[in-house]
Structure 1
Amino acid sequence: MSRSTLHDGFDAYLDGLAPQLGHADRVRSFKDYCYGLMLSLPRKSIEPIAASLDPENVQARHQALHHLVAKAPWSDRALLMGVAQWVLPHFLAGATPYWVIDDTSIRKKGRHSVGVSRQYCGEIGKQDNCQVAVSLSVATERASLPVAWRLYLPQSWTDDPARCRRAGVPSEVTFATKPEIALQQVRETLDAGITPGIVLADAAYGKVTAWREQLAEWGLSYCVGVRDDLSVWAPGTEPLPPEWSGKGRPPTRWQQTAEHHPVSADTLAHALESAHYQTVTWREGTNKPLRSRFAAVRVRVARGMQYREPEWLLVEWPEGADEPAKYWLSNLPEDTSLTDLVITAKARWRIERDYQELKQEFGLDHYEGRNWRGFHHHASLCITAYGFLVAERLRRGEQKKIALFPAPALPEAYRPRGRTTRPTPRE
């Protein structure tokens, strides 16, 4: 495909999404910003995009783009649902869909950018000053696409109304945990009519029993990470029925005794005979097939002495390792094979590719503003541009990177805003 044909396709794609912006006056800036995100620029914030699009009128173009991103009250949800409706048909037909819940961090200096706090930063694997956003992506074996994106606000922010006001946080936004944000995204995605998928998430979400129960109540299947201390009733055991004397209100709490009690997932994993563990290959990696040892058993979660239905506990214990590596809990049907359980559990890897490309290729972490609206608008526009390339890959039947549009050369006289044109004096 020629560069001009790709450009024409991108332009038609944006024309189809433009009504989601809510006002015709925003369409030009919308298309300009998305086109800027497709340019091969080292940094994709408003200033370099404006300079690349119109170097002779940078200030005017900067103001227009800034208004679109930081001030205009268009709906992020409406735009992302529009992108989903355009892109998802390219890879959902005939495939098993997954809904992947995850969060990603954006390192940030200072304390004034919305949501910034010293918290766990997945990018470096330790505490750091950063922003964290929760997302829901729709995925299959062929591709994936984020369809929901929401900033997590730590309590240090929600407990400080003045600080939230200065950052433009809507008054109706209150503290919500990451699992609570994820549930809201699931509910909104269901309401939007997106084809339901098997929910995948790591243990930060899966460890919350009420969270899993809400997914089940909505009729969703899940395969989510859990911690090794998850309390379960091993195969062949279950809580004792409540004892009732026949007088008064019948008790409802199931019982355990010193001899009859649940065990941790870790204890159960160690108690399984070696024959329970089988080597499973779940996909082809870059250099070799990805495989490990797994065991799956039917258990009942023990929490609150309530009687729960059996679920799958999936354990990964790599060959030669001293301890199990990971645990998952799934409400998939009892006749689900071990291989299918493993493939499902491991399907979450695609979200990492989304985050990597959104940051490296589309500048997801390049937004330099401080307010709530700008943070979400910039992310929605990045996902919009990314969605087009996801669809193009699928249309061409290849997974290779598609080159972005080349950045135009800037005039020699151009200077970034705030930089003096005078030479640096010699000391």
Structure 2
Amino acid sequence: MSAAERFDLYLEHLSEGLGHADRHAGLRGYCTGLMLPLSRKSVEPMAARVDPMHASARHQALHHFVAKAQWSDTQMLRRVCQWVMPKMDFSQGGWWIIDDTGFPKKGRHSVGVTRQYCGMLGKQDNCQVAVSISLASNQGSLPVAWQLYLPEDWAADRERRAKAGVPEEVHFATKTLIALQQLRTLLDEGAPRHCVLADAGYGVDNAFRQALSDMGLLYAVGVTSAVVVWPPGIQPLPPKRYSGMGRPAVVPRRTTTLQPMSVKALAMSLPPEAFQTITWREGTNTPLRERFAAVRVRHAGGNVGKARLRPEQWLLIEWPASDAEPSKYFLSTLPQDTPINELVSVAHQRWRIERDYQDLKRDFGLGHYEGRGWRGFHHHAALSIAAYGFLMAERLVADKPAGGKKNFIERKVPALPEDYIPRGSPARAAPRGNVDHDAAPSAELPTDRSSRAVPLLRQVKHKASLVTQ
């Protein structure tokens, strides 16, 4: 079976969740456009390349499909997951990776735009931020949940909500709460209970970590140097005896000589022999290795206040030999007998979601949507992930590098006529009052992607629930 035939089967599988048959052409056109080597993957340039002889009509059809049509982006992601995940090998374990990503945006009318930290820029600026969860194995990872973070000023502004089409049931929620709800939904649909990975923006929240434990999930999450723990071998005094009045005390007692300490202070107090150099994976040019120490601690609070006595867990410390102090800290509930090299390997699997975002933005137009509405934002992201998911599945089952297959759709698209004038050119100007534009880097598809050959599993059609193994 050729790649084009597999692409047809893939689109047929995704189309079953669209509701109406007249949306199938929109799905094919949009995914095809996202997979072409265009520098800009918004609706207009994709329509001009996919159907150059009827660019105006195709532009209107694709815009309606992504911005107006009432199909579920959540169900789309589930169907992508159903296609890709059976081709991944989870025999050596899997991970849920939580993160968020930003999209620089001008103005104030695009849904969710406000001045906030944008990881893409590395600073505070006008942007949109979305929270996602990827399901990962040693072979790769794929986003399976995606939701825009709606800042408080947006959540409280009825007029802007109405113009952007924000659903009534969407209220303000922190990024950690969004991620936890995404996880609960996935687990309710039958998803496996893999270990959860997240950076310090999530891991520093004690309530977030406790919620993961309450869901029966192990975790390995980053924390800041200010997090307070009871060091190894220190057993805090039990809470004060209940007097019969008020609430029983739950906070362990502290004395002048019995105090918890920050993870930074604990790391600085460890002897040099507590650290060992560990290699966790092969990098682009050289193996990735660093000095680490792992000790058993009990969480003793957060950045502020105190907390009840918690079970022991791992504190993993990363301290480059050339630095004056440790660079990273992780708390993990992996079993007590977990070797330190496994702790290091698991904690550093987060790089996969960074690669997801890089590929999705560079190659599949994730940040190129120019509309302002809630529905279009989520539809565009789901379709970008769908295009990404197909090529990921191709890499998983290919016997040769996927770079040779990335252009199979492009070859089916007719070349542009010499006298063709694209919409929006000076000779054919159109108003742009309802879209936002932002510069984007070139999205040329790389040709040197590596692949790993695995057996092609028989594809079984499912209802739109999460089936991964």
TM alignment of 1:112-123, pairs within 5 A = 112-123=109-120
1:119: how far off?
1.1
Residue number among 344, 349, 352 corresponding to 2:351 in the alignment: 349
Distance 2:230 2:10 in 1: 52
Matched, 1:419 2:422: no
Give structure 2 stretches of 5+ with no counterpart. 430-469
Partner of 1:41: 38
| Secondary structure, counterpart of 1:170 in structure 2 | coil
Aligned residues: 420
1:246: how far off?
6.7
Comparing 198-207 with 390-399, greater Cα deviation is found at 390-399
Residue number among 24, 28, 45 corresponding to 2:25 in the alignment: 28
Matched, 1:296 2:294: yes
TM alignment of 1:87-166, pairs within 5 A = 87-166=84-163
Matched, 1:392 2:387: no
Distance 1:359 1:79 in 2: 19
Matched, 1:403 2:406: yes
| Secondary structure, counterpart of 2:16 in structure 1 | helix
| Secondary structure, counterpart of 1:259 in structure 2 | coil
- The amino acid that maps onto 1:403 is K
Residues 69-90 of structure 1: CA distance to partner in whole angstroms, max 9, x if unpaired? 0011111111101111110111
- The amino acid that maps onto 2:60 is Q
Partner of 2:285: 287
Distance 1:251 1:357 in 2: 51
Partner of 2:267: 269
Distance 1:185 1:242 in 2: 36
TM-score when normalising by structure 1: 0.94
Residues 340-383 of structure 1: CA distance to partner in whole angstroms, max 9, x if unpaired? 00000000001111111111111111111110000000000000
Partner of 1:55: 52
Identity of aligned residues (%): 55
Distance 1:271 1:305 in 2: 23
| Secondary structure, counterpart of 2:419 in structure 1 | coil
Residues 165-193 of structure 1: CA distance to partner in whole angstroms, max 9, x if unpaired? 11111111111111111111111111222
Matched, 1:376 2:378: yes
Residue number among 214, 225, 229 corresponding to 1:228 in the alignment: 225
Distance 2:297 2:400 in 1: 41
Residue number among 184, 209, 218 corresponding to 2:215 in the alignment: 218
| Secondary structure, counterpart of 1:329 in structure 2 | strand
1:403: how far off?
2.7
1:247: how far off?
5.8
Distance 2:113 2:349 in 1: 30
Comparing 394-403 with 289-298, greater Cα deviation is found at 394-403
Distance 1:188 1:237, change over 3 A: same
Residue number among 307, 310, 319 corresponding to 2:309 in the alignment: 307
| Secondary structure, counterpart of 1:299 in structure 2 | strand
Coordinate RMSD, CA, aligned: 1.8
Matched, 1:188 2:185: yes
Distance 1:146 1:202 in 2: 16
Greater relative contact order (Cα < 8 A, sep 6+):
2
TM-score when normalising by structure 2: 0.86
Distance 2:261 2:328 in 1: 17
Give structure 1 stretches of 5+ with no counterpart. none
Distance 1:153 1:70 in 2: 18
| Secondary structure, counterpart of 1:341 in structure 2 | helix
